[in-house]
Structure 1
Amino acid sequence: GYGSHGTIVYKGTFEGRDVAVKRLLLDFYDIAHHEVSLLQESDDHPNVIRYYCKEQCDRFLYIALELCPASLYDLVERGSTFQYADLLTTLHPSKILYQIVAGLHHLHSMKIVHRDIKPQNILIAPSKHKKFSKKDGVIQQTSSVRVLISDFGLCKKLEGDSSSFHNTTNNAGGTIGWRAPELLSSSVPPSPDGNNNNIESVWTSVDRLNDNSFTSSSTGSEYDNGQPRRVTKAIDIFSAGCLFYYVLSGGDHPFGDRYSREINILKGVYELSKLDGMGEEGIEAKDLIMRMIERDPKKRPKAEIVMLHPYFWSPSKRLGFLQDASDRFEIEERDPPSPLLQRLEQGAVDIIGPDWYKRIDRIVVENLGKYRKYDGSRVRDLLRALRNKKHHYQDLPDHVKRSLGEIPDGFLFYFTSRFPQLMLHVYYVIAESETLKDESMFRHYFELPGEV
């Protein structure tokens, strides 16, 4: 394969194992050794490419890296015609995306900003560990894959306690169509009224560029309102948000085709319609992506917050969260309603409709009425109904169980398919309360494993 700055990648061997050998021109000595240095520092993570060794010869520096059979770009763009297409079928898209952001979280925790997240720099490799599953009483080996972040040539190491760095003409970096707006806006001359009326001027001769591989090393002016422009880890989050949609949509980009992407990125004009037919999963994915591609970098979530989003939760975790939320809301003052309950019921019609009973099967409605009266206009009562049916599931008549579905998957789907906004609504009621999300019953939903 070929990369920027005259880079060529070969297949080779190192100590008896197959490796990828990356050859870099010594004309770009600083870039080459910068990449090696960051690889040595950051490769101790399952979602970051493994570095083995380096050798210098004549005009080249050779780097031995973990060999991966395909990139995310290969799998999405070439689809079933690609010889390693089966790799993609072994993972749900959410598993792919979680591994990408887990790798980013690792880099960011080491104060490394990647600066060139795109499909070509996300590699796919078979898992190092074999997994086994039992089906019809027979134990079978199942294949799984690892998703790895690669290509550290444009990475930036943040100095000391700094959380940002200067975006200058010497270190801007990024790839056309995958760069955050703050990396582009320095090229747009400000208009007298403060609006970017000259935004079209930034888009020049992009039709001559190969969007699949072109990497920029400059974005224009290095000053913003007379001050040196500074950018943060949020540029990686923006690129990852675009990548999320690329995976979920099967190759589309939220900001359009390659000829209009950068103008749309600057304008904040995007399209996520491919997620509309995915039910609750699509609603949660859209919420997450919209936050990641927010124009204002300060409003984008950090990598760990992305990893904690309900989109990545298992059905059992989602169900447990809704149950815990119901228990917590039940102890709140109802008359008059506490501020927390008022927040919960804001926009209730959009979440559950004017009467949630009308979205529930008659069989379930009749069973609910035997034990307690619920207010069909309140989110709190719907959560309580869900909680009570889950808590007493084993005691329910068989025909009610069949209607509700098996726990956790079927039971959760019964409610979320009828109320697809419910999960996110309850999540943000709790997540946006600093005191509530720190309570013992919720804390584990808002902390990464190993960081508690």
Structure 2
Amino acid sequence: MDRFNYQDLKNEEEFLRLPELDSPSIVRYVDFAEDIHFGYLVLQLCEYTLEEYIQDHLPDDTAERTLVLKKLVKEVLCSLQVLHDQKTKVLHRDIKPQNVLIDIKGKARLADFGISRRLKQGETTIRTSIAGTRCWKAKENINEKVNTGYKRSSDIQVAGMLVYYILSGGHHPFGEDVDCEYNVLRGRYSLQHLDDDVAKDLVEWMINENPNERPTVEQTLTHPFFWTDDRRVRYLKILGNEKEAENCRNADEELLKAISKHTEGKSFSEWKNKLPSELVQKLDGKKKAYPENTLGLLRFIRNLHEHYLEDAESINLMASFPDLFGSVFSLAKERGWNSRASLKKFFSSAPQI
């Protein structure tokens, strides 16, 4: 790098030398050298930027591609977790596709800490002149030219834009070019390139225009988007034990109306026709038949796993009803059920994917 950007280079070297950044999630520092004209920062070998990888190197197989994209999202957030840790206290301030590198094993790592800053003990905000890249700035950092306040939540909003960029195959939630920052300032976004309601929920949480409403990076990693199928089924089983599902045969009209918004056109709207008829008859015959709505299905799932485990293990619920979890999660969030003690535990630890 030439002398014009020398200070940014030295700043990056300083950060990469921090013991706290010696992590598998951060691009590894190797060496630094300089002459009268240039400075040279030597980093571990990486094959692509995230931008290059998304454009030209994703798997063709849809299922494999989905898994790779989810893995990339988690790796980027794990990188940010290292920076935001209470011991590290680093704000990246320039998160964008070009500043995520993909190593030779296909792992994503945050890089380019030239304009990063470290919070002092007890600090939550750093004030400097404006920093970052156009279209990759948080709302609160766009118009202020001097004395601009940067927080962890500022990184989070931009990381949310990057999560959408990854999952959508290269699109920006606030649009492209001249309209992008205008849309960020007004909270106008589109998630049209995402079909997964759970992924949409994660992105919307992160790009919230109110910094105080955005999650911490730790909270993003516990989001249901990252849950395994087994964890999602366990969540559905617990919901099936809640009073609303237990009372599925006598649910009140207001609840049924709210549920219908999450059911129309979904794979589970006529769920009895998509499960083995002998299994449905076996459980229906024990009491009054289960209603063919979401509450009835949740109660069916609970009782199936509670009393007919062998039958339960023969059914892949996530494959039979691919949109069930997302719809039920959205309903439970809307109704405030996820804050109950029986369900709250699902959101307190980050599962592996």
TM-score of the aligned structures, taking structure 2 as reference length: 0.83
Question: Which SS does the other structure have where 2:177 is aligned?
Answer: coil
- What residue is the counterpart of 1:361 in the other structure? 273
Asked if the contact 1:352–1:377 (Cα under 8 Å) also holds between the matched residues in 2, the reply is: no
- What residue is the counterpart of 2:141 in the other structure? 183
- What residue is the counterpart of 2:327 in the other structure? 421
Deviation at 1:68, TM superposition (A): 0.2
Question: Which SS does the other structure have where 2:112 is aligned?
Answer: coil
Q: How does 1:128-167 map to 2 (within 5 A)?
A: 145-166=106-127
Asked if the contact 2:236–2:325 (Cα under 8 Å) also holds between the matched residues in 1, the reply is: no
Question: Which SS does the other structure have where 2:108 is aligned?
Answer: strand
Asked if the contact 1:288–1:309 (Cα under 8 Å) also holds between the matched residues in 2, the reply is: yes
Asked if the contact 1:348–1:377 (Cα under 8 Å) also holds between the matched residues in 2, the reply is: no
Give the count of matched residue pairs.
342
Structure with larger Rg: 1
- What residue is the counterpart of 1:92 in the other structure? 68
Counterpart code for 1:58 = I
Q: What is the percentage of aligned positions where both structures have the same residue? A: 28
Within the candidate set 155, 172, 175, 1:253 is matched to 172
| Whole-angstrom distance in 2 between the partners of 1:77 and 1:253 | 14
Pair 1:45-2:23 in alignment: yes
Pair 1:106-2:8 in alignment: no
| Whole-angstrom distance in 1 between the partners of 2:337 and 2:7 | 44
- What residue is the counterpart of 1:174 in the other structure? 132
- What residue is the counterpart of 1:36 in the other structure? 13
- What residue is the counterpart of 1:125 in the other structure? 103
Structure 1's 232 and 432: CA in aligned 2 closer, same or farther, altered over 3 A?
farther
Asked if the contact 2:136–2:158 (Cα under 8 Å) also holds between the matched residues in 1, the reply is: yes
- What residue is the counterpart of 1:305 in the other structure? 219
Asked if the contact 1:180–1:239 (Cα under 8 Å) also holds between the matched residues in 2, the reply is: yes
| Whole-angstrom distance in 1 between the partners of 2:319 and 2:51 | 32
| Whole-angstrom distance in 2 between the partners of 1:185 and 1:291 | 22
Q: How does 1:6-17 map to 2 (within 5 A)?
A: 7=1
Deviation at 1:99, TM superposition (A): 0.6
Asked if the contact 1:308–1:448 (Cα under 8 Å) also holds between the matched residues in 2, the reply is: yes
- What residue is the counterpart of 1:447 in the other structure? 349
Which of structures 1 and 2 has the larger relative contact order (alpha carbons within 8 angstroms, sep 6+)?
Answer: 2
Deviation at 1:247, TM superposition (A): 1.6
- What residue is the counterpart of 1:370 in the other structure? 285
Structure 1's 373 and 426: CA in aligned 2 closer, same or farther, altered over 3 A?
farther
Question: Which SS does the other structure have where 1:360 is aligned?
Answer: helix
Please report the RMSD computed on the Cα atoms of aligned residues, expressed in angstroms.
3.7
Q: How does 1:228-377 map to 2 (within 5 A)?
A: 229-275=148-194, 278=195, 282-327=196-241, 329-330=242-243, 347-352=258-263, 358-361=270-273, 363=277, 365-373=280-288, 376=291
* Structure 2 residues not aligned, in runs of 5+: none
Structure 1's 157 and 428: CA in aligned 2 closer, same or farther, altered over 3 A?
farther
Structure 1's 221 and 431: CA in aligned 2 closer, same or farther, altered over 3 A?
farther
Question: Which SS does the other structure have where 1:92 is aligned?
Answer: helix
Within the candidate set 57, 60, 63, 2:38 is matched to 60
* Structure 1 residues not aligned, in runs of 5+: 1-6, 8-23, 128-144, 187-219, 223-228
Asked if the contact 2:235–2:346 (Cα under 8 Å) also holds between the matched residues in 1, the reply is: no
Deviations 1:372-415 (A, max 9, x none): 3366387554322112223445554xxxx7xxx945xx223324
Deviation at 1:309, TM superposition (A): 0.8
| Whole-angstrom distance in 2 between the partners of 1:85 and 1:427 | 34
| Whole-angstrom distance in 2 between the partners of 1:366 and 1:332 | 19
Asked if the contact 1:352–1:419 (Cα under 8 Å) also holds between the matched residues in 2, the reply is: no
Asked if the contact 1:53–1:65 (Cα under 8 Å) also holds between the matched residues in 2, the reply is: yes
